[in-house]
Amino acid sequence: MENIALIESFSEFKDDKLIDRVTLMAILEDVFRNALKKKFGSDDNFDIIINPDKGDMEIWQRRVIVADDDLDLDHLEITLTDARKIEPDFEIGEEVSEEVKLIDLGRRAILALRQNLISKIHEHDNTNLYKQFKDLVGDIYTAEVHHVRPRVVILVDDEGNEIVLPKEKQIPSDFFRKGDNVRGIIESVELKGNKPQIIMSRTSEKFLEKLFEQEIPEVFDGLILVKNVVRIPGEKAKVAVDSYDDRIDPVGACVGMKGSRIHGIVRELGNENIDVINYTTNTQLYITRALSPAKISSIKIDEENKRAEVFLKLEEVSKAIGRGGHNIKLAGQLTGYELDVIREGNVAEEEDDVELTEFSDEIEAWVIEEFAKIGLDTARSILKQDVNDLVRRTDLEEETIQDVMKILNDEFNS
């Protein structure tokens, strides 16, 4: 056959792309029929027989025998003289089947046919890839770093599929090198032209939820339910858990002895601080647990506007707010309530207190802002704090904090 080279290339497609025989036959027939339509105007009188496993293919053209003097001959007809070259006993009106060689289509048609085949194969692969990863959206996936760019990391899985991890989907502390294995969830699959773009995320709440499923057997088995997850990637997260089995302590099972079970999750997330709390339908209790480690004095709830006034002693305010305001922000997101902190304290002392902004001529604005991030916005609220604790909870040096303490003490002792 003159079409051996092309047929061999079809076999290569089958091996490389792992396309099943039925699908390959359908693609090949579609490609050849398009080529026949282009050359002859119609493919109605052509039969295509393909065997991609053996690497052979036949195209047969069926034509009706007409008289030699028929001047309006078309591709559906053949003259009696030409028909008898195929079989000497043919008669007018009979149907002749004759094999068409690929070489008869012309070199340019063969090149176009091959290009069309490549395009159809890629289209098939992209469709399958899109469907495959659409089914994986929301699941954890592992791939290897192939290329690191300023705004994106390109990953490749074991099958050579390209996965994109954008900068905004990376945890701030993430640092990747070529060859590193990276875990995340498949967040979305988007079609860019005809090619699917697979997006991975490590900042999604769903990623943390799926890590709980992977690392904690009771969650995987459904004995413990993850009711809600909120997080500030790389900084802090809160996870509400529940169990229908009263014999199981959901928080204890998730955290493990001395944090043994949750340690792997924390490490995976760049040492993200994870608070695990017991879920409850009791709103006051839920808010109280969500604001841990602060101890709440009382809560006043406005159900209609989904707001809650949380009353705390002065020394508990900074704990409730947390570093950078993370604790109260996440508590609000977890419970679904806008939380307003109301300070409780000595009335005389509060009246004697001074807003920290009043010291802006002696204390730099960014230092005042650092204290405000952890809920300390008055002189006395800072003076009640331990210096070492402030060093731990802010980005301030001990010397800076000592200087501020001195300025504030001088105010009340003068």
Main-chain dihedrals φ then ψ at residue 200, nearest 5 degrees: -105, 150
d(CA 283, CA 292): 14
Cβ neighbours for 388, distance < 8 A, ≥ 6 positions apart: 398
Q: Render 255-301 in DSSP notation, one character per residue.
A: H-GGGTTTHHHHHHTTS-EEEEEE--S-HHHHHHHHTTTSPPSEEEE
Instruction: State the Cα torsion 196-200-206-208 to the nearest 10°.
Output: 160
Q: Is the pLDDT of residue 107 over 70?
A: no
Query: Which range has the worst mean pLDDT, 99-108, 149-158, 236-245?
Result: 99-108
**What confidence tier does 4 reach under pLDDT thresholds 50, 70, 90?**
very low
pLDDT in tens, 26-85: 677 777 777 777 777 777 888 777 765 565 677 887 888 888 887 677 778 888 888 888
Query: In terms of residues, how long is the chain?
Result: 414
Mean pLDDT of all residues in 385-401? 86
Tokens, residue 232: 């500030």
Tokens, residue 194: 């005809």
pLDDT at 1: 40
40's enclosing H/E stretch is: helix 21-40
Q: What is the 3-state secondary structure (H, E, C) of 161-206?
A: CEEEEEHHHCCCCCCCCCCCEEEEEEEEEEEECCEEEEEEECCCHH
Which range has the top average pLDDT, 32-46, 204-218, 375-389? 204-218
Cβ contact 113:31 at 8 Å? yes
Q: Is the pLDDT of residue 276 over 80?
A: yes
